[in-house]
Amino acid sequence: MDVVRRNIQDLGGRISLKSVRGRGMTIQLALPLTLAVMDGMVIKVAGNTYVMPMSTIVECMHRRADDSSNLLGTRGVISAARRMVQLVYLTDLFDLPAVAQDSPNSVVIITKPATDALRTCG
């Protein structure tokens, strides 16, 4: 819980915990209003809905099965911005059931180089 408190404080927020023996615990989070009005892209992965901040997205594109290449030790790479970038699947990151990677709804989201990787939805 200390890690959660520290991360919320880093965002400029507050967290309070109230516990009553035998009745449970109440957790209150107070986050800055700037987080509530942040632009985001709603994405669905394996039946779950997530919001990715628009400030982290560089480009989005539909993925075709022949867009990616296999590279030993990776789940695939794709050519983007005149370089090969490793594919990272959100289903792997979030430990979700795998979905068809070449479905017509499969989208590649290129993010800023926090991880310098492609995020794929699905």
Neighbours of 66 (CB within 10 A): 7
* Tens-digit pLDDT profile for residues 50-84: 888 888 888 887 766 666 666 666 667 777 767 77
Q: What is the mean pLDDT of residues 87-115?
A: 75
Quick one: pLDDT at residue 115? 47
38-121: what fold? OB fold (Dihydrolipoamide Acetyltransferase, E2P) (2.40.50)
Q: Tokens for 61?
A: 């594109």
pLDDT-derived band at 86 (thresholds 50, 70, 90) equals confident
Please check whether residue 106 is in contact with residue 64, taking contact to mean a CB–CB distance below 8 angstroms.
no
Which of 90, 93, 83 minimizes the C-alpha distance to 108?
90
CB 40 within 8 A of CB 51: yes
pTM here? 0.53
As given in the structure block, the two tokens for residue 97 are: 């059931």
Number of H helices, E strands in the chain: 3, 10
**Residue 117: per-residue pLDDT:** 43
Mean pLDDT value of segment 26-53: 84
Query: Could you tell me the residue ranges of all domains in the chain?
Result: 1-36, 38-121
Tell how strand 24-30 and strand 107-111 pair up: unpaired
Which structure tokens are listed for 94?
């979030």
